[in-house]
Structure 1
């Protein structure tokens, strides 16, 4: 592990969170009084690659192998949701199994409370922290998703979620389905990377900087940056169907998971309330276009999303009341984005039906 500038996934709590937890909180504290939110960016940087070579900084090497690894990804978490979408778009379901913790957690760890007996059926553990402690007995940081676990040893391999999805695209090609899209094409990588940097800093993490701000000054600054970026995206997407090029790429996956949670959570819970997503024509049409594309909307569980944020963030929502709204039926309305051209999957094809057992529960999706 080493410090590295970049995003970090949702955690049960970080070590800093633990310092600010109170005796009355079972889930940890997320807001530091008087300060701006500073996301913990220290994650396990191991990679799973074709040749399994050690990393440039001496990280252990792990070799691509079908059936060896299990992706742990809670439906509620936007960072984990990305890995689920990319796995599905590329057709890696048979090569990499999926474990899904429930939407809430306590101050220690995500738990497998949705599985029979509260135990992950492959790893045989009740808490994700068990896989972290198997690898690092004194692991000091947040127990985060997504995480990839080596099923043979039961030890966590990596929680470096920005790299996980890129490696799915570039290192796991042997196991891609026929017709898998090019989500990280070589000729577009510089532009994808540039767009991703701004989207992460000001949008993906920007909503958290608003929601977890510990002062009016910190909130005002985060709010201004968020809306400057959303205005930039609204303009960009008014003349192009996708963020980069004329097909779906990694950049679209990364933006989508924040947009899918915007009206349901971030607008109210995180005070990102200048406008709703549904009041931004280009972004709303773009989000619906992706939502209605196989591999995107069929991974979104709005019930779990709302349960996670409104129940876990006790210091923001101390009553734990989960709102009934908003009306989600609009996600299935026609978007009209086809008029901008573009080919969602390029020369590839859409993924097939969701694997049995991985479906969003009835009543938890849009239009329910």
Structure 2
């Protein structure tokens, strides 16, 4: 690496101006694919172009290969804290030194209680008060991890007339996730609002057909066409290869068969509704196993998850995960809450789900 660094530095002198721009992770898909390949993920070979270089690309021949020394402590806020904790090195500015000591001394409740005990202090309820004090740390709350467990039980909707109309859409390319997924195929029943979705690396016509057979017919054991008209649709292949239905049409008994199918349509729809209810119940049982109930009352203060339109991309991974505080002004039920900003009193235009909220301690 040292040889490449020397070549790069020599080339830099040929330019009048040089600027370095950080590429966000969601836009740097090639580097993400290389990281997946280096981690040993087997499918990375099929989606990543790998070039093998047998000889060094630098012009320095016969030079001994050396390993560039990397500083163990970076020259940033992390390095400053590490230097303070290990060597008690502080900035010369008293104000900056005080800020550094405060950041380095931020501890969890249990660690804080142990630190107090090692200093020779003790009082009743020390551990409980240390926990309460640590919870009030504003920066710790803003950067607290996000729980991916659902906050409420699954609310399945069952209606008397289902699958009268479906909506299908392919979500445009998203930031490449793990294992190369960047497309989402989803269908929604317009009556029950039931949604089925799957993630894909690429989407083809065969993927759509498999998705429909696996997700649309599975809940009812019937196709949407059969639930609407009482019979299955005639496919082009049946026009060439003789089947019972095409033979019936040729014999002039088609109208009678359609009438019999319509007479049995209500029974088929009832059976499909029962199958759908059983499917939704099984889905709800699986979903509810992972639920960690999170409820709030009117007047409680919470933090709200930072979304993309309010995210400051300049700070990168150090951007706060939670923002606020907000106050609960109305409880809608099913985990939906209406919020207002504590500082400005402005009410947010739409409700927020409990999975995107976190209790605030002040």
TM-score category, normalised to shorter length: under 0.3
- Structure with higher strand content: 2
TM-score (norm 2): 0.19
Q: Which has the larger radius of gyration?
A: 2
